[in-house]
Structure 1
Amino acid sequence: MNDCQNKYYLKPNVALEALFDRWYAWSHLISPATAAMNVKDRHLKIMDSYIKNPKIHAAAVKKPEMLGGPFIDYDGKRVDEIKNLADQIRDKRARLLALADAVNELNELLLGHAKGYSLKTLYEKVPDILKGYVELYYDLNDQPNFRFFEALLYKSEFYDDSPQSIALQLVESDKQRSFVLSTPRLDDEHIIHAEIPFSHPIIDQLFKMKRTPGDYSEIKKILKIKPEQETLFDSFFTLKVPEKYEQYSGHGIRTRYFGHACVLVETNEISLLVDPVVSYDGYENDVPRFTTEHLPDQIDYVLITHNHQDHVLFETLLQLRHRIKHIVVPSSGKGNLQDPNLKLMFKNIGFDNIIELDDMESVELDRCVITSLPFLGEHCDLDVRSKQCVHVNLHNKYKVLFAADSQNIEPKLYEKVHAIVGNVDVLFLGMECDGAPLSWLYGPLLPKKADRDKDQSRRLAGSDCNEGMSIVNQFNPKDVFVYAMGLEPWLEFISSIRYTDESRPIVESNRLIEKCRAMGISAERLFGEKTIEYIDYLEYQEQSEAVSA
């Protein structure tokens, strides 16, 4: 590549995978306490199982009903490499693993000795490496627990960005990547691994090149590309000028659906992006979709509804970081193990201007008000506060409610919310009403393994038809859009979902759509791309008349 004379663009189908010790990274691998528990009781357990029985894993990943399970997808091969990685993790993350052991020891201490009397004498029995990082407490039912001073943990030896790295590759098919959360990323001739932390500015510099040409040689130098990697690295770049993004200039509101729960809302003054999970461009596919090429140069507000892997996707967020002006996140439970703080997490991976909202708090702008509304359920009945539905009031006229995956198990809540915010024009709602069991996401954090019947009853589930219709009837929207719930083919790598017409989320969402239409409400289940534009005809007419005069 003649990098001395030309400025190059990054191809639109270059993907970034954020990795933690070669495992696909998500928010629970950033906060030190949850990272410790996941390394010990998820990553190492899966690797040890593969080392012992690789053929079982190879058979399991071929069964559709086992997709998303704890099985490594290397066809029973590369066992020595997995063993080597596990050994390295045990060696390099010894202190992190000691932290996990200390958390388990503290749970046993409280279970055995906290009987409703003062906890003062127990502080001396707290494991040494946890002393100064935890507060012991009772709830009002005399049940003992502890909370972390999470900000201190981020300043301690337990927060270490050396496990962080990025993997770069060309995505040339929606089916190219299998489910990523249960298989570590070993060396591959089609992937370049760069040992840099997520906060490194080179990530911004590199992904700016998807729209603005940059210095290829400088990027290559900073990423320490080896001579044998240059041919592959060269293939990531092009001289082809990308199409220029056309900023919305209409007099109304344009919403664009990008797949899953990701929606872009634009006026001629502001842009809002909800739960960024965005497909790649530059390869043939069967399903039309919007990509990063259809996002504005500056995204004024990114709105995060809750802290699950498919809503806080580093792969998209890190690529967009240089475009994001503000991130709005729900506040957390302040130190609960199962509820790591999103503001701290984003700050420590290089994001600025993070706005944290409590229930019913707002960001008030000149022509837009963003309000955090309560979000029920979908977190297995755990005390998780970092979740919000987002209410957006644009032009003091158009109101959009992003209800995310809220499970409306107590309709009285939204009755009270409606009394404050009123009706909405548009409702976006997730209806994954089955959901994975408690242990699928939170298993490594539990002091003891959940009984199977309890595990299966407590699920990461959204609203069914009746629960969803209660939201519809409460807020009286003109338009109802149900998310595709991970059905888009480019999301299988993170969602592992393969529904049929008989799957309960499809049946329930079909019922809701039929009921809405019978009431005269426009309703559909989204899939792929969708543009909806709401024109303020009166304002447009007044402006046109003023210009004519």
Structure 2
Amino acid sequence: MGDSSELRYLRSNVIIEPLVDRFYAWMFTFAPVQASMNLAFLQVPLLESYLQSPQVHVAASNNPDLRGGYFVNVPEERAGEVTELLETIKKDRADMLAFADAIAEGEELVRQNATGFDLTPLYPKLPPALNGLIEMAYDTSNQAAIRFIEPLTYKSPAFDERRQSVQLSLDDGVERPFILSTPRLPSPDVLELQIPFNHPGLEALFQARMKPTTAAKLVEALGLDEAQAAQLDKLLTTEPSLSADRHIEDGGRIRYFGHACLVLQTPDVSIVTDPFISTDNTKGDRYTLDDLPDYIDLVLITHGHQDHIVLETLLQLRGRVGAVVVPRSSRGNLEDPSMGLYLREIGLPVIEVDDFDEVPFKGGRVVATPFLGEHSDLDIRSKSTFWVELAGKNVFVGADSSGIDPVLYRYIRNNLGQVDMAFLGMECDGAPLTWLYGGLFTKPVTKKMSDSRKLSGSNAAQAADIMNELGATEAYVYAMGEESWQGHVMATTYHPDTYQLKQIEEFLGWCKERGFTAEHLFNQREWRW
């Protein structure tokens, strides 16, 4: 280990993987209700399936045609470690597994007995694990459902910080295993920290990207032993790597960091959308964490999918963010956990917004605008597009919102004005309903039904309708998991004849015919005015 008193920086290419019970953490494996159900009905059966046929899972994991499938990519010779992990989960997470079973029992109770009459007699029949945590209610069509009192679930046995840990390593450019299926086992070149995500030591560690500190201070902040301190030393360097042009002195600038991540700047303000940022600064073909401004006034999160609220990036922004702006959830729907509760729990400041709420900043404002589609027709309210007025331009951050009802965008224009630049997602043939939400269903969903309800954004015609209604003449379609550093989260594979790419080509042709500026973004791009 080097001199522990020497000033050091965190290396640019350090990766953090936040884990819960060794599975990669995202909102549906963290929020207590959804985490319990995914653990019981998805992750435990997945590990059991792997242990029955490890070689089948490994072969499927390496088959490009099955990319993004639920297969555990752990070598067969390490199956014993998976057995140990499964046994530990069943023993130490018994409360969570019981809670998931109670949810299934409670939903069946409602299905069988809520026939439009008084629900009061059903409360004594609820499984004890649900008492005090739910309310049963009808909608105006007399369809009954369970609503969770979500803040209390974070105080219940269904939430346990001891599940949380992090792995720190250096980005070597090799694609990591798919996050929804493969647990992260220990490795000699990985620093394992059994600490919760809100641990102050993590903030101190990532602040060292910008401000030098000593290894001794970091060892103390993270509570490391001698062996861990030696591993930490490999993650530190004596030279800073921040980009000299990460701030601007006049005008406005937007930088595309990949996927749905934009950095919008003036000399007075910095705004980041859906941060999902590469740590590999050796390629020279992308912006990385080195290119972020030192202070970020607002982070805008459009929706709760794992490629838009990316915990491994968000954790690295703690201590340098004014607020994370998130759409408000429905307050208790099983399929719609609160992003606000989730992010506050990991130590980030949060502003929750409803449609057409405004967040002002010096020289401009952000307005939350409605988001249609892309959520398999589930009753999910925590999704928002954003209108950003910045340095004299109106920018529409459309994320994966669909143009299924173009009149919505006419209302946006009539209320807020004409758009100068529109950023759109066109993953128009998304995954089926059960790919992402399967762990939340306690009643079987047929394949035909699941396939009919996809996680799809706009096709060419819908994107054109959005442009027409917004009055926009510049359109930028973000890459759909095509950038190399996103494979572990996106697991998408495209070829020139892929339907989504053909739809993007059709849309770009439509724009060209009308004299509009339009591009399919990839890796990086900058606009200045």
Identity of aligned residues (%): 39
Counterpart in the other structure of 1:3? 3
Counterpart in the other structure of 1:436? 431
Separation in structure 1 between the aligned mates of residue 402 and residue 472 of structure 2, nearest angstrom? 18
Moved more, 226-235 or 66-75: 226-235
Counterpart in the other structure of 1:545? none
Counterpart in the other structure of 1:365? 361
Counterpart in the other structure of 1:252? 251
Q: Is the 8 A contact 2:418 2:472 kept in 1?
A: yes
Separation in structure 1 between the aligned mates of residue 57 and residue 280 of structure 2, nearest angstrom? 32
Q: Is the 8 A contact 1:307 1:342 kept in 2?
A: yes
* Residues 77 and 236 (structure 1), Cα distance of their counterparts in 2 relative to 1, 3 Å cut: same
Of 377, 380, 383, which aligns to 1:384?
380
1:74-120 deviation digits (Å, cap 9, x = unpaired): 23331111011011011111111111010000011011111111111
* Residues 343 and 5 (structure 1), Cα distance of their counterparts in 2 relative to 1, 3 Å cut: closer
Counterpart in the other structure of 1:467? 462
Moved more, 235-244 or 48-57: 235-244
* Secondary structure of residue in 2 paired with 1:199: coil
Separation in structure 1 between the aligned mates of residue 390 and residue 175 of structure 2, nearest angstrom? 39
1:306-348 deviation digits (Å, cap 9, x = unpaired): 0000001000000111211111000101100110011111111
* Residues 518 and 342 (structure 1), Cα distance of their counterparts in 2 relative to 1, 3 Å cut: same
Moved more, 113-122 or 233-242: 233-242
Q: Is the 8 A contact 2:412 2:470 kept in 1?
A: no
Which AA in structure 1 matches 2:371? F
Q: CA deviation at 1:41?
A: 1.1
* Residues 57 and 4 (structure 1), Cα distance of their counterparts in 2 relative to 1, 3 Å cut: closer
Counterpart in the other structure of 2:412? 417
Counterpart in the other structure of 1:129? 129
Separation in structure 1 between the aligned mates of residue 345 and residue 166 of structure 2, nearest angstrom? 16
Separation in structure 2 between the aligned mates of residue 366 and residue 187 of structure 1, nearest angstrom? 46
Q: Where do 1:97-176 residues align within 5 Å? A: 97-173=97-173, 175-176=174-175
Q: Where do 1:498-513 residues align within 5 Å? A: 498-513=493-508
Q: Is the 8 A contact 1:248 1:254 kept in 2?
A: no
Which AA in structure 1 matches 2:393? Y
Q: Is the 8 A contact 1:136 1:145 kept in 2?
A: yes
Moved more, 208-217 or 247-256: 247-256
Separation in structure 2 between the aligned mates of residue 5 and residue 335 of structure 1, nearest angstrom? 50
Separation in structure 2 between the aligned mates of residue 165 and residue 202 of structure 1, nearest angstrom? 13
1:159-189 deviation digits (Å, cap 9, x = unpaired): 221101110000011x342322210011111
Which AA in structure 1 matches 2:272? L
1:225-272 deviation digits (Å, cap 9, x = unpaired): 444445433211111232454353343210000000000000111110
Gaps of 5+ in 1: 535-549
Matched, 1:531 2:526: yes
Q: Is the 8 A contact 1:375 1:389 kept in 2?
A: yes
Separation in structure 2 between the aligned mates of residue 231 and residue 129 of structure 1, nearest angstrom? 44
Counterpart in the other structure of 1:267? 266
* Residues 83 and 380 (structure 1), Cα distance of their counterparts in 2 relative to 1, 3 Å cut: same
Matched, 1:405 2:400: yes
* Residues 530 and 244 (structure 1), Cα distance of their counterparts in 2 relative to 1, 3 Å cut: closer
Matched, 1:518 2:517: no
Separation in structure 1 between the aligned mates of residue 62 and residue 158 of structure 2, nearest angstrom? 37
Q: Where do 1:2-401 residues align within 5 Å? A: 2-173=2-173, 175-243=174-242, 245-283=244-282, 285=283, 288-352=285-349, 354-395=350-391, 397-401=392-396
Separation in structure 1 between the aligned mates of residue 526 and residue 68 of structure 2, nearest angstrom? 31
Separation in structure 2 between the aligned mates of residue 57 and residue 523 of structure 1, nearest angstrom? 42
Q: CA deviation at 1:449?
A: 2.3
Separation in structure 2 between the aligned mates of residue 392 and residue 51 of structure 1, nearest angstrom? 50
Separation in structure 2 between the aligned mates of residue 244 and residue 407 of structure 1, nearest angstrom? 36
1:354-405 deviation digits (Å, cap 9, x = unpaired): 111101111123411111111000000000000000000124x310000100
Counterpart in the other structure of 1:544? none
* Secondary structure of residue in 1 paired with 2:7: coil
Q: Is the 8 A contact 2:366 2:388 kept in 1?
A: yes
Separation in structure 2 between the aligned mates of residue 243 and residue 408 of structure 1, nearest angstrom? 39
Pairwise CA RMSD of aligned residues? Answer: 1.4
The alignment of Structure 1 onto Structure 2 pairs a total of residues equal to 529
Which AA in structure 1 matches 2:521? L
Q: CA deviation at 1:214?
A: 1.0
Q: Is the 8 A contact 2:47 2:86 kept in 1?
A: yes
Which AA in structure 2 matches 1:506? L
1:134-163 deviation digits (Å, cap 9, x = unpaired): 110111111110101101111223222110
Gaps of 5+ in 2: none
Q: CA deviation at 1:28?
A: 1.4
* Residues 443 and 525 (structure 1), Cα distance of their counterparts in 2 relative to 1, 3 Å cut: same
Which AA in structure 1 matches 2:53? N
TM-score w.r.t. the length of structure 1 is 0.94
* Secondary structure of residue in 2 paired with 1:322: coil
Which AA in structure 2 matches 1:489? S
Which AA in structure 2 matches 1:484? A
* Residues 164 and 245 (structure 1), Cα distance of their counterparts in 2 relative to 1, 3 Å cut: farther
TM-score w.r.t. the length of structure 2 is 0.97
* Secondary structure of residue in 2 paired with 1:400: strand
Separation in structure 2 between the aligned mates of residue 3 and residue 202 of structure 1, nearest angstrom? 20
Separation in structure 2 between the aligned mates of residue 245 and residue 155 of structure 1, nearest angstrom? 45
* Residues 244 and 459 (structure 1), Cα distance of their counterparts in 2 relative to 1, 3 Å cut: closer
Q: CA deviation at 1:221?
A: 3.8
Q: Is the 8 A contact 1:443 1:449 kept in 2?
A: no
Q: CA deviation at 1:220?
A: 2.3
* Secondary structure of residue in 1 paired with 2:318: helix
* Secondary structure of residue in 1 paired with 2:202: helix
Separation in structure 2 between the aligned mates of residue 470 and residue 371 of structure 1, nearest angstrom? 21
* Secondary structure of residue in 2 paired with 1:28: helix
Separation in structure 1 between the aligned mates of residue 230 and residue 323 of structure 2, nearest angstrom? 37
Which AA in structure 1 matches 2:524? E
Which AA in structure 2 matches 1:335? G
Q: Where do 1:486-497 residues align within 5 Å? A: 486-497=481-492
Separation in structure 1 between the aligned mates of residue 402 and residue 240 of structure 2, nearest angstrom? 45
Q: CA deviation at 1:471?
A: 0.3
Q: Is the 8 A contact 1:146 1:336 kept in 2?
A: yes
* Secondary structure of residue in 2 paired with 1:317: helix
Q: Is the 8 A contact 1:302 1:327 kept in 2?
A: yes
Q: Is the 8 A contact 1:194 1:224 kept in 2?
A: no
